[in-house]
Amino acid sequence: MTAIDDFRSETREWLAANCPSGARGPGPVPTGSTKIRIHDADTELWLERMVEKGWTAPTWPVEYGGGGLSNDEYMVLIQEMRRIDARAPLAGMGTSLIGPTLLEYGTDEQKQRHIPPIVRAERAWCQGYSEPSSGSDLASLRTRAEDHGDHFVVNGQKIWTSGAQFADWIFALVRTDPDVPKHQGISFVLMDMHQPGITVRPIRLISGNSPFCETFFDNAIARKEDLVGELNKGWTVGKRLLQHERGSMASLVGGGVAADAGPTLEGEAKSYAGEDDGRIADPDLRHEVVTHNMNDLAFRLTQRRAVEEARGGGTPGPATSIFKMYGTELQQEKSSLFVSMRGTRGLGWSGDAFDEQSLEDTRTWLSNRAASIYSGSNEIQRNIIAKRVLGLPD
């Protein structure tokens, strides 16, 4: 047996012994927020065991509480978790976005202060990028950070701040020099959300949920030791973080484990269209589901190949826009299939006539309409692909 075979065997044995039954299949996944209490005992136990193992951030260095796994070992861990339908023990922007960015750009002191609380699920993060007048043209942002010696005083507004109402910290792009070209006067700072200078207002969406927020800064404080990268050169740090986000690479190389959860398209299609010798009875629906599943598998394999080909095992550069764009379209297609296969029963908003899964799928379908807009619209991703991947002229 090879070393990776030994690791697979050990991992399979450990997961079988340590993943509680209540942490398998659909269910809650903690974010580390101090504002959200974990009510499910198995979810809490699963988190505690994975924290102790270092597998809330499997590829991160052991010195910060991570698992220190190689990419090959991480792939095995993901496969073995999916085999038993184990949920991710931890999710959110801590493991997927700011953690990997700090590991690359943070000082030793910043890593020691911020990374372990992420790994231990003691802190949830949100992102302060977009502003009411700075969405697609992010570099035109106007939130100001004035130098006050050992700290910055921040004033301005961010919008579409995902999960801000539950976040403990925010990473944000701020204007620190208004007298230079717009890309050069931006800095990347971290701020504690538990301060009187920050106000959060959730935004209610068509789905009925409020995952996004408006965030206001009124003389908020960002400490100098929480400036990531160089002063006025935060655009470089901010772009790198977006590559982690747009590539959806967090489940592969960013640190956090991701495992599929919820009903499958095939299973739901059989329940509504019936079965014919083990297959979905309706040939048109069967074709749609099989096509989607094949495209989804090809997408996952392409992501994995990109990770393996990336130098140093990190996230690829502009090519991540391909993953964001196509991944979004797959996400929207899947939610549309869930709704359409139910016919009129897939359009319920509330009431006893609709089961809980149908209502959840309808709201997910509505929520996913925004997926091709946030984190950089698909139109922007196509421009990036054209210019920086294909090398086409402006």
Active-site amino acid positions: 245
CA distance 101 to 108: 13
Classify 298 as helix, strand or coil: helix
Number of other residues whose CB lies within 10 A of the CB of residue 193: 21
Question: What are residue 272's DSSP bridge partners?
Answer: none
What is the enclosing helix (H) or strand (E) of 345?
A: none
CA distance 220 to 226: 13
Burial class of residue 295 (count of CB atoms within 10 Å of its CB; 0-12, 13-18, 19+): middle
Parallel, antiparallel or unpaired: strands 151-159 and 144-147: antiparallel
Question: What are residue 228's DSSP bridge partners?
Answer: 188
Question: What are residue 192's DSSP bridge partners?
Answer: 169
Name the maximum alpha-carbon separation found in the chain: 73
Give backbone dihedrals phi and psi of 342, rounded to 5 degrees, phi first: -90, -5
The amino acid sitting at 86 is A
CA distance 164 to 173: 15
The amino acid sitting at 149 is G
Tokens of 341: 């296969």
